[in-house]
Amino acid sequence: KLLLAEKYIPSKKIQCQTTLFRVQTGSEYSQTIGDDYGLSTVCQNPPQVLVIPGDHRTFLQGENVQVLADQINTVVL
């Protein structure tokens, strides 16, 4: 999946405001594509990046869920 995403070249950039909810603990791959996971290359405006505590497996566990819910509410409401 990551290889496909890396090779994908969109025909135009996303025009609307974009928000990325990303985990605090990244992988080696995320270090090579930047804090916004490369979204700035496909978005007209810089994406808003909100960081959730944890990693790919733990960001939806314990208190991290409330952090994510609060951040979603901030963006949506």
Q: Where are the domains positioned within the chain?
A: 7-76
- Per the prediction, the chain carries an average pLDDT of 87
Task: Give the residue-averaged pLDDT of 15-21.
Answer: 94
Tell me if residue 10 falls in helix, strand or coil: coil
> Poorest-confidence range of 28-37, 40-49, 58-67?
28-37
Q: How far apart are CA 72 and CA 59, in angstroms?
A: 14
Which residues are registered as beta bridge partners of 19? 48
Give the pLDDT score at 2. Answer: 72
Provide the CA 68 distance to its chain's centre, in angstroms.
12
CATH fold for the domain made of 7-76: Rossmann fold (3.40.50)
Whether the predicted pLDDT of 14 surpasses 80: yes
Q: How far apart are CA 55 and CA 43, in angstroms?
A: 25
Read off the pLDDT band of 18 (50, 70, 90): very high
Whether the predicted pLDDT of 33 surpasses 90: no
